[in-house]
Every structure is written in C-alpha cells, then in structure tokens.
Structure 1
Amino acid sequence: MPRFSVIVPAYKVQAYLGECLTSVLEQSYADLEVIAVDDHSPDACGAIIDELAARDPRVRPLHLPENVGLGRARNAGLELASGDYLLFLDGDDTLTPGALQGIADRLAATADPDVLVFDYARTYWTGRTARNQLAGLLAEDGPAPFRLDDRPALLSLLMVVWNKAYRRDFVERRGFTFPPGYYEDTPWTFPVLLSADTVATLDRVCVHYRQRRQGSILGSTSRKHFDVFDQYDRVFAYLDAHPELAPWRRVLFERMVDHLATVFVRRGRLPRGSHAEFLRQARAHYRRHRVPGARTRPRHLLVRLGAHRAYRLLSLASRCARGAGRRVRAARHALAAAALRLHYRVQLRLPLRADRAVFTRDAGGAYGSDPAALEAAFRALAPQIRTAWIARPEHHATLPAATRALRPGSAAYWTALARSTYLVHNADFDERMVKRPGQIVIQTGRGTPLKRLGLDLRDRPAVSRGTDFERMLRAADTWDYVLSANRHSTLVWERAFPAGYTTLEYGLPRDDVLLTATSADVARQRRSLGVPDGAVAILYAPTYRDYCHGQRRALDLERFLDRLGPHFVLLTRAHPSYGEPLIRTDGERMTDGERLIDVSDHPSVEQLCLAADVLITDYSALMFDYAHLDRPIVVYADDEEVYEATRGTCLDLRETPPGAIARDEDELIDIFETGHWCGSRSAHLRSRFRERFCPHDDGRAAERIVRRVLHGPNAWQPALVPLADRRPAPSDLAGRTDAPFPAVPRAGGPVPLVERL
C-alpha cells in the first residue's frame, strides 16, 4: 500500500501531460502510485500514459471506453486507488519539487488528518508566476489538526480538488464521489471540508496551476457553465441530508451567490443570448436557497433581482467613488514625488562632497554586517569623512551615535545619494539613483557565495522568474569595487555579475571581530544570551528556501536536544526573510527556554558565532564566516536534491566540506552522539576548508579595504598574518578536559575528553 495515490485525468492535454506526470514521478518522496486516466482523449494522451507506465511500474494506466468528463474520470481513478492518501492533479498542472515530501512531513506532524490543505501558484503562459493571494490562510501557527469550525476562513480559498490531500478511508467511509458536468469540484470540496473531523494546513506551494492561453474549461464559451446551478443544488442537498451542518448554510449561500455572479460577469463564458436565461436561473436559486441574515452586496443584488442594468449602474457608481478617492490620494503622492525628483535634480548639479560617505544594508535595514564594519573603519581611519546610514525608522536605534540616520525616500536621502562621494551597500540603491562621475560605489555582497546568484540563476526559473537580468547588470555597471573573501568568491562574482568593477580580495570586514575578540568578549556574549556555564552551545542557522514560502522546520528541535543530553544548548536563528522564529510552542510540547534559545532577532550574527561552540547549517554563507573561528561545523542537508533542483549551488560541498555532513535527522543526531562533530576527521576537513576559503581574514580586512579605496592600489597595507599564526576568538570551552569539545591539546597538558574517547 503506497502512501499516496495521485489521480491524473487526461483529456486533450497532450502538450502538458508528460511534464505533469514527470513532476510526480521525479518527486524525492517515492512512496506513491500514479493512476493516469485517459478519458478517451482523441490526441496522444493515452500513448503518453502507456509510455510512462512501461518505464515506471508506479504508473497505473486506465483507458476509458468513452469520454465521461473530468468528474467521472476522477471517480474511475478513485476505484483503483490503494494509497493512504489521495491527491488529484489535472493533466496540465505540475507538482513542485519536494511537494510530496513536504506533504508527507506535514501529515506526520499533524497526526494524519482527514484533509490537508496546501497552497498553489498560478503559472501563466507568458512565464509569470503568481502565488495564491490568500496564502496567509494556510499559516501553520496554532494547534493542528483542527476542525473547520476553528478556521472557517478556509472556505474562502479557491474551491478546487487539487490543493488538498485526502485520507482515503475518510473519503470511502463518507462515500464522496464527483458529479458530472462543469464545476464538479464544488459539490466535492465543500462537503469534504465540512465533514472532516480533522483538518491541517501546509503553508507551501505544492502545485503549479497552469493558466493556459487557450483551451481551458473556464476560458471556454459554452452552455455547460449552466452546470453550476446543479452543482450547488447538490451542495445544499448534502446539507439537508446532514442537519448537523446547518450552521454552514449561510456561508455556503453567500459563496454560491458570489460564484454565480462571477460566472455571469466574466466575459467569454456564457454564449451570446444566454445571459438573461442565466440571470433567471440565478434568481430562482437565490430564492430557493436564501438564508436570512446573509450579506447583501452589489453582486448579490444582481443575482437577487436579476437586474443586470441596475447592477451595472451600481458598480459604475461604486467604481467612480473609489476612483475619485484614489485620484485624490494619487495626486497628493504624485505632487510629493515630483517635488523630491526636482530636489534630486537640483542636488545632482551641485558639487560632490569628498567628506561624505553613505552606507546601507538590505535596502534600509539595521546597522550591521559588512557595510557596518566598513562604516566603523571609515570613522576610525578617516575621521574627516562624515558618515550616514540609510535605515527605515524602526532601525534608527541600532545606529552609532556618531552616524547620521537617513530615512529612505526623504529629501535628505536624495541629497546624500546625489552629493556623497562614497556609497556602500550590500543590495543596490534606489534604481532611480544616477551615479555621478567621481562617486565611488562599493558592493559588499552578503558573504562567500554558496547559493547560485546573478546570471547563474538564468537556468533556475523557479527562483529567477520575474528577474530583470538587464536591470541587474545595469546596477552592476555602477559598482567600482566588489568585496571578496577568497578566489572562489572572486570567480563567482565575475561570472554572475560581469561588469567593469575592481574586486578587492582582502577578506570580509564583518569577520574582523571573529579574529580580534577576546575570551572575555565570548563569555560576555554567552551570558547575554543565557547560555549556562559549561554548556556546549550549538548555533542552528538554516538558510532560506526559494521553493518553500513559509518557514521550513526540518529539525525536531526538542527531540534533537533530548537525544544529546543536558550539556547541550541550542541557539536557533531563522532566516530574516521569514520574519518568524524556528521555535514553536503548542499545547502538547513546551520548549525548554534554558536549553532552546531563539536568537532570530539578535542584531549581530557575528556575536552569535562568538557565543557558539559549533555551527549547524545547510547552504548558508554563514559557514564560511564561522570557519574563521576554527570551531566545528556540521552541514545538515536533508533536502539536497530539491534545493539543487530549485536554487542550486555554485560549489559542491561534498568535495571540500567544512565538517561532517548529515542527510537526515537521525544521522545528525548520530554525528553528535558519537562525537564525530568534533573529532579528528572533522578537524581535518575544517582545516582544508579554511585553507581554501579563509586566506585573507586576519582581523584587518576593513582597514585594508578603506586604505585601498581612499589611497589607491599603492597605499600602505598591514602585513597579512598567515593562517597558521592567527588566533581567532577562543571558544568558551577551549582547553577544558571535562566537556565534549575538541580543545587543542598543549604540550605536556591534559588530553581533551574527545580525543580520549
């Protein structure tokens, strides 16, 4: 019995069917069967199904003797299904990479609910992709599973069958089947959601819903759109047969009226001359199923009165009122924008200020990372240059007292961009900025690249869709200098962003603190985070997943800590793009605040590195920064195939890993339980990794960069400290013999515990 039965009906979709079925068969989660139903399609759909079935035994072909329509074709597939869960996929749609693994993980985490609702994105024939606008309703916060009563807003989602996984025994017990005709999803989806005892959500795009230029059912003109009336009669008949569901009648009535109005007003659905007949039937349905207390909108009046002209007049009046308000607001904004543009043009005609430097990070983010380290170096080495930092108001408190705060879009902001000689960022400035002769732009980047970036993403449409590569390269043309930590970074930047800049391969300023901090700094940072004395602090910092909209929790944090024992503390840092922590508290399992500490909001990841004794990460550039400390690193890459297929990497970590690599949670736990994370093999791998990626960082990278920028290529530079002679900030546990940490044994001194083991 497979975990999933994926039912794919096919009729006149020969151009898309191969891609659809392949998207299922190539999933990383392979415990599945595909029931491909040829609905007597006159094209090559049947042959495509047979060809795939001959190559993959998981494909179960079913050829119907006559065309029965989408609903009945699905029913035929249902009769053959043997999986624990049922999924439906239309023959012109596709599953996203890793979708089934994500669904399986969420099912396991929510005790196998009757129904799991996941997300989708529309993919247009033009290449544009748009995620479901109501994706917020699929948030995984709060208890799960739940009943629909707890989250009734789920009924606002598009009522389709293919954005859900259904437990097969639940479907069979309830006797759910699809009716004939158009809009067959309606009398399936509403009853299924209303009847489910347990429901869960998955905040992840699992289906790409193809918006075909021609040939889709909803884009066709046909009297079959009148089938919508029979479908809602079936919905309300189900309510009549289940009196316990009566409280839902008003909600379904309102959904019906909205749906009928949508079918009517969408151009191209109803044949010419049939609109009046459709309105008469809609009015009859309104009266037949009306519920007292239901909301009344202009659309509802259209259906209730059957008055098309009155509806048009009401809609026109409403649009005019809204439009007048928008025009007033737009005029106000346009006037302010015009004044700022004029101000900027005036400033561009004034002389540059050689004593001005402007810095920013993440297009207005908090003070930190490489731009902040360079800003501090400018103030220390060139006090005659006045510095300013562009930040949104909520980040102004993070700035040093000596640094001027600039709000993005303000007049002072445009003045600084127009007249400052030095401009430093890790993400481009406003695209309307004009780089003047004499201005010097420094692109710091975001660390040593591991993920693909720039032009290397051209063959990764799931990530780069919508990216304007020409605009990206025009921005690169404004860069004078790009910072690099090593030869690998230099080569990647020059390939991914080909332009005329000069690469400063001097190391990264943000890492200076890792080489200059003292043991007192480390101890102070650990105390501020609440790390108990003598504990081994693990920093867990996974990176962003382009293929996953919500936070991906690949590690059971509590189980991981329980297995490691009381001497370990876990510092969890979520990627800033998600805006939420990795730690979650629910009614069943409460996190241990002393051993499981969320540090997602900490302003400095460098300070977190100082506090940690070991790093666990996946594809984050943080591993290259942390390597400067010469402390253990463990790579947890449980989705390597999916990540490589979507975003991809520009470096094969398997060739030069920074330490042990785990591919699932049990393997990660084993690495720590056996001591491999800090053993001699780990130290050897880390040494090779540091030789390749840490050649320049000796604590004075920011100084070298500032001297080079201000005084040219012949400027005096401090001598580079060889890698073997560097003394990075020591771990709090270094030298201890009673802790599971690989302290370096000194001549005549005690042998560390790990080496004894």
Structure 2
Amino acid sequence: MVTLSVIVAMCDVRDYCRTALKSLALNAREDFEFIVVDDGSVDGTSEILREMVPRIPGAVLIRNPYNLGISATRNIGLSAARGRFFTFLDGDDWYAPGYLAQLVGWMSESGVDFLRTGHVRVYGRKRKIVMAPLAPRALPLNPVDYIGPVDASTFMDYPQSWAGIYDRERLLEADALFFDESLRTAEDRPWFYKLHLRTRSFGVVDLHGIFYRRDVSTSLTKVPDERQLDFLPAFRLIFDELDRHPRGYELSFKAMRTLCALIVIHMDRAESYDELIRGLLPERSAQTLRDLPQDVLEGTLSGMDAARVNKLRALMSRHQGAAAR
C-alpha cells in the first residue's frame, strides 16, 4: 500500500532540480512514491531527470510532450497518484531529511481532510521560518471558519499548496482534488477556497521542513508576461465557488479584500512587466471589479486605507469609458 504520493512539477529548473531530487532520496520510504512530472523542459532539466529519477526509490518520471503549465502538470501527477495522502514539491525547492515521515505521522494521527504546515523561505544563503497563519495547532478545525476574518492574514493569504498534506480520497469525494487548468499562475488560490468550502476538517502543525526559494529568476511569480494576470480569472472562479455556498456572501468580503490588495500590488510593480501587460492590467482589473458584486466591493473599499482606495477608484473611473464603448 502506498501511504504518500509526492507530486513534483519540474520545468526548466536545471540549476536546482538535483537538490530537489536528492531531498526526495533522503525522504524515501517503502510506502512513499515520488511522481516527477517534467513539463516540457528545454534547458537541460530533462537530461538530469532521466539520469537521477531511476535511482530514487519509489520515483517515476512522466514527461509532458510540451509545456502544459503548472495546473495541468499537477493534475497529471494527481491522476497517477496511488497514495492515501499526497503533497507537492516544486522543482526549485527541497525537503529536510525525514520531513515527509513526520508529515505523514501528523496526518495519520489527526484524521483530518488536510493539514497545513509552515516552511522555510530561502533568499540565497539566508533562511527565514514562515509560520502558518494564526489558528489552534494540532486540533481538528472547521475549514470554512478559517477563511476570514477580512482584516487579518488567514489561510486564504497563504496559498502554498506544497505547505501541507492532503487526504486524496476525501478530496476526490468533495470534488476538490484537481486544479483549474486554465490558470497558469494563481492556481492555488481557488484550489484552497474549494478545500475550505467543500471539506469537513483540517489541521495546522508547526513543521518547517520544506525549503522554498524566493530568489529564482524563472519563478512564475516573477514572469513579466500575460501569465501575471491570471489572478483575475482566479478570483472570478473564487466568487463562483462562494456563490454556491450557504455562507458565500459573508465570506466574499475576504475574497474581495484580497483581490483589491493584489490589484494594487500588481499596479505598483507594473513597470517590471511587458508593455502589453502594463496596458492590459488596469483594463482587466477594472472590468473584473465591475463584474463582481458591487455591494461587496463598496463594503470592502470602506474598510481599506485611503491610499489603496484612491488608486482603485481612479483605476475604475479611468477605465469606465472604455468599458462603455
């Protein structure tokens, strides 16, 4: 019986994938499987994977014929998974030795649908422990109760799918297992809303055995092209999900607050994007805000600081005429 499936997405991570693969080997166990999915790498990653993956106990290699994106790549791994539990690893990150055994131990004892952890943020040689958001530790919790509050950092602001472990059968029963393949970035945000709205229980533990690189120039968080705008359709999916939930209206204020904050963040760093994206960002942002419930938007703006509210109102006013045409 396979207890744990680790889905490892790899795409053009030649300089980092050896560390990730070595960390899998240091965590190997007879009842663990490692599903490494090469998403059409073209930088030499594929050759390293063909060399190293067969040497790792329990590891299999799947290669996409061309780049399909992170959502489709994870879904391919999830479809191949046989484990009772599953988790993720990105190709430029790595595990501490023995971390996965600890993770499975906590999950087995908890009996919850999914478990969230902290992680270690890596900047070059610097390390910083990042705690999971505020919540009771090592206790079964109701997921829907931890979407809010609106004005605090919650699990909706901690959308790292690799910082956790999940019960595959329970997520499959809840129709919450797979990612939306239309999203090339921000895919974790609607996925976590599904988990918190559709599952019965989750837990939090202070494990910090996954190392997350923040200084990788090829990371999807740093791409300057149109993929940066996928947070907008991601939030449309979130609002669709909330519309179907009995507490959806109440919880939609948290989603709107996060969306507004993200729009301002993207606007503030727009100079680092391609010229096309600099033009599309304000137009699509304004359209998204107009298309969502206006009472929720107004209620959200009334609770935000003046600087961000002024930017958002100026954005909507500036692009209102374009929408009317």
TM over 0.5: yes
Query: What is residue 50 of structure 2 aligned with on the other side?
Result: 50
Whole-angstrom CA distance in 1 between matches of 2:210 and 2:135? 14
- 1:116 equivalent to 2:115? Answer yes
Q: Residue 306 of structure 1 corresponds to which residue in structure 2? A: 315
| Counterpart Cα distance in 2 of 1:73 and 1:115 | 21
Q: Is the 8 A contact 1:85 1:167 kept in 2?
A: yes
Q: Distance in 1 between matches of 2:56 and 2:29?
A: 15
Q: How does 1:43-82 map to 2 (within 5 A)?
A: 43-82=43-82
Change (3 A) 1:97 1:237: same
Please list, as runs of the form range in 1=range in 2, the aligned pairs for 1:362-441 lying within 5 A after superposition: none
2:134 counterpart SS class: helix
2:304 aligned residue = 296
CA distance in 1, matches of 2:237, 2:101: 35
Distance 2:260 2:286 in 1: 10
Aligned to 1:177: 178
Say if 1:278 and 1:308 are closer, same or farther in 2 by CA, change over 3 A: farther
What SS class does the counterpart of residue 2 from structure 1 fall into? coil
Match of 2:267 among 248, 264, 268: 264
The change in CA–CA distance for 1:173 and 1:136 in structure 2 (over 3 A counts) is: closer
Residues 159/15 of structure 1: CA separation in 2 closer, same or farther (3 Å cut):
same
Q: Distance in 1 between matches of 2:279 and 2:51?
A: 48
Counterpart residue identity of residue 124, structure 1: Y
Partners of 1:77 and 1:300 in 2: CA distance: 41
Residues in 2 aligned to 1:53 and 1:99: alpha-carbon distance in whole angstroms: 19
Give the superposition deviation at 1:204.
1.8
User: 1:137 and 2:134 equivalent?
Assistant: yes
1:89 alignment partner in structure 2: 89
The aligned counterpart of 1:658 is none
Structure 1 counterpart SS, 2:220: coil
Q: Residue 225 and residue 136 in structure 1: after superposition, are their counterparts in 2 closer, same or farther (change >3 A)? A: closer
1:286 is aligned to: 289
* CA displacement, residues 492-517 of structure 1 (integer Å, 9 cap, x when unaligned): xxxxxxxxxxxxxxxxxxxxxxxxxx
Residue 235 of structure 2 aligns to a residue in which SS?
A: helix
Q: Structure 1 residue 137: deviation in Å?
A: 1.8
- Deviation at residue 28 of structure 1 after TM alignment: 6.8
Greater relative contact order: 1 or 2 (C-alpha under 8 angstroms, separation 6 or more)?
Answer: 2
The SS at the match of 2:165 is strand
Q: 1:247 to 1:67 in 2, by over 3 A?
A: same
Deviations 1:560-589 (A, max 9, x none): xxxxxxxxxxxxxxxxxxxxxxxxxxxxxx
CA contact (8 A) 2:147 2:254 kept: no
Alignment of 1:188-587 (within 5 A): 188-266=191-269, 269-272=272-275, 274-290=277-293, 291=296, 293-294=299-300, 295-297=303-305, 298-306=307-315
Tell whether the 8 Å contact from 2:23 to 2:95 is kept in structure 1 after alignment. Answer: yes
* Compared CA separation, residues 150 and 299, structure 1 to 2 (3 A): same
Cα distance in 1 for partners of 2:308, 2:241 equals 25
Deviation beyond 6 Å, 4+ runs, structure 1: none
The reply on whether 1:148 has 2:146 as its aligned counterpart is no
RMSD: 2.4
Given that 1:258 and 1:300 are in contact with CA atoms closer than 8 Å, whether structure 2 keeps it comes out as no
What is the DSSP-based 3-state SS (H/G/I as helix, E as strand, rest coil) of the residue aligned with 1:60? strand
* 2-structure distance, mates of 1:225, 1:182: 7
* 1:94-151 Cα deviation digits (max 9, x unpaired): 112332122122213312x1110001121112x111222x54625516xx21112444
In 1, are the aligned partners of 2:40 and 2:64 still within 8 Å (CA)? yes
Letter in 2 for 1:130: K
Identity percentage over the alignment?
24
Q: Which has the larger radius of gyration?
A: 1
Q: Which amino acid aligns with 2:304?
A: T
CA displacement at 1:29 relative to structure 2: 5.4
Contact 2:132 2:158 in 1 (8 A): no
